């Protein structure tokens, strides 16, 4: 989401006593400083202007990748978080002004190739390098502008606000994509090949039977249902569009018809990402910000059997992370399977082109077998 996303910078490097646990006084001070002093309005002078894709072509860019070795700031040795195992991450940076605002991500089936889209109307492809099962490098990055149906770069800022991307078929080098946009709400079907992302072949427009999405709170999350009665259907949910009972509003499309459903609002989080598991269930990425607590992130699992017209869905909370964990403004989510068949979740953050106070980070978690994780360990 552009403009209204919270602003967040990395906490100062803490001092460590023996055993790898942070000094509590230092942690408390760091969290208070972060919550009270580093969250600034998105139109702040600290934020850089968004790049104008009308002046950009497809090109290679240099991206620096710094490993993120642990997720929990209070316990660097901890890897397990309920049913999720932290596999590592990368802090990404670049001198290129086109780099930033990455709001959606898709990953190849082999877990190596990626594509990300930004709310400035740009796409980026790259290759992830691994050291064992841990993220180690970010290579071969290319970027270019998203286009209108006539083949020209998207002209208006309200048309460029891309928030999610889904790989429909093929790979991020040669395949078919879905990309969702907010402000001018729509979901487009695109091809990708050697020349980058093509003009859209078609668009799905929002259903208005349940009301109208706010300009900056629209199609933030979408994917395809991979199993179940509605297999192959496009499913999406608004970042923040509540019904009369306070539930989030979403839709899935069958035979060209939009079917509405709702998702319980637990604690005032916004919806920022969505991806399908191999068994057909969905993972929802959520984010919350307030001045007293700072930024929070949540992952929730929805059973595919619960996806029905007019359904009211609760889901299972897999993870809630706070500023005690190494998170930022997490907006993009993708899922692939590792060599053992276990689902791997890849998350990316949107820095809002505010490089002084926010970061672009990639995080990866493996979802462990439910039977081996009967008890969810709290943070």
**Domain total in the chain:** 1
CATH number of the CATH domain containing 34: 2.115.10
Q: What percent of the chain has pLDDT over 70?
A: 85
Query: Nearest 5°: CA angle at 9, between 163 and 318?
Result: 60
Asked whether residue 11 is domain-assigned, the answer is no
253 vs 224: CA distance, rounded Å = 10
In the predicted model, is pLDDT for residue 48 greater than 80?
no
| Token representation of residue 265 | 């609002």
The pTM (predicted TM-score) of the whole model is 0.87
> Mean pLDDT across the chain, nearest whole number?
86
219-224 and 234-242 strand pairing: antiparallel
Q: Is the dihedral of CA 27, 30, 34, 36 positive or negative?
A: positive
In the predicted model, is pLDDT for residue 10 greater than 90?
no
Asked whether residue 2 is domain-assigned, the answer is no
The strand pairing partners of 349, in sequence order, are 330
| Token representation of residue 281 | 């269930």
Please tell me the predicted confidence (pLDDT) of residue 47: 66
Please tell me the predicted confidence (pLDDT) of residue 31: 45
Q: Which domain holds residue 92?
A: 24-372
In the predicted model, is pLDDT for residue 74 greater than 70?
yes
287 vs 295: CA distance, rounded Å = 7
Asked whether residue 8 is domain-assigned, the answer is no
Please tell me the predicted confidence (pLDDT) of residue 370: 57
Tell me if 277 sits within 8 A of 345, measured CB to CB. Answer: no
Q: Where do we find the tokens 């403009």?
A: 3
Asked whether residue 377 is domain-assigned, the answer is no
Asked whether residue 272 is domain-assigned, the answer is yes
Tell me if 35 sits within 8 A of 296, measured CB to CB. Answer: no
SS (H, E, C) 257-277: EEEEEEECCCCCCEEEEEEEC
Please tell me the predicted confidence (pLDDT) of residue 299: 98
Asked whether residue 45 is domain-assigned, the answer is yes
Tell me if 14 sits within 8 A of 26, measured CB to CB. Answer: yes
257-263 and 312-313 strand pairing: parallel
Asked whether residue 14 is domain-assigned, the answer is no
Asked whether residue 281 is domain-assigned, the answer is yes
| CA torsion, ordered 127, 131, 133, 137, to nearest 10 deg | -30
């Amino acid at each position: 989401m552009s403009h209204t996303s919270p602003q967040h910078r990395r906490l100062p490097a803490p001092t460590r006593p023996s055993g790898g646990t942070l000094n509590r006084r230092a942690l408390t001070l760091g969290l208070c400083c972060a919550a009270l002093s580093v969250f600034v309005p998105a139109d702040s002078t600290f934020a850089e202007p968004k790049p104008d894709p009308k002046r950009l072509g497809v090109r290679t860019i240099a991206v620096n990748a710094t490993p993120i070795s642990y997720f929990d700031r209070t316990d660097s040795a901890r890897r397990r978080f309920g049913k999720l195992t932290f596999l590592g991450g990368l802090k990404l940076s670049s001198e290129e002004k086109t780099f930033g605002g990455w709001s959606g991500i898709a990953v190849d089936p082999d877990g190596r190739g990626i594509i990300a889209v930004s709310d400035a109307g740009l796409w980026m492809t790259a290759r992830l390098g691994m050291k064992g099962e841990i993220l180690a490098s970010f290579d071969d990055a290319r970027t270019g502008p998203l286009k209108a149906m006539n083949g020209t770069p998207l002209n208006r800022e309200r048309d460029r606000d891309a928030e999610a991307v889904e790989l429909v078929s093929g790979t991020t080098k040669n395949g078919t994509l879905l990309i969702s946009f907010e402000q001018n709400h729509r979901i487009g079907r695109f091809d990708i090949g050697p020349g980058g992302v093509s003009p859209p072949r078609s668009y799905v427009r929002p259903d208005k039977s349940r009301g109208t999405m706010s300009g900056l709170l629209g199609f933030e999350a979408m994917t395809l249902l991979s199993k179940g009665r509605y297999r192959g259907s496009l499913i999406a949910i608004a970042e923040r569009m509540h019904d009369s009972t306070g539930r989030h509003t979403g839709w899935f499309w069958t035979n060209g018809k939009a079917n509405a459903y709702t998702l319980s609002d637990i604690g005032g989080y916004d919806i920022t990402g969505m991806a399908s598991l191999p068994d057909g269930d969905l993972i929802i990425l959520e984010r919350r910000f307030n001045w007293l607590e700072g930024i929070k992130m949540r992952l929730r699992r929805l059973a595919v059997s619960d996806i029905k017209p007019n359904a009211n869905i609760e889901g299972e909370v897999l993870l809630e992370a706070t500023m005690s964990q190494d998170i930022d403004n997490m907006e993009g989510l993708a899922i692939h399977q590792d060599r053992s068949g276990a689902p791997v979740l890849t998350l990316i953050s949107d820095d809002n082109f505010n490089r002084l106070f926010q970061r672009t980070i990639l995080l990866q978690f493996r979802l462990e077998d439910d039977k081996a994780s009967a008890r969810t360990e709290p943070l």
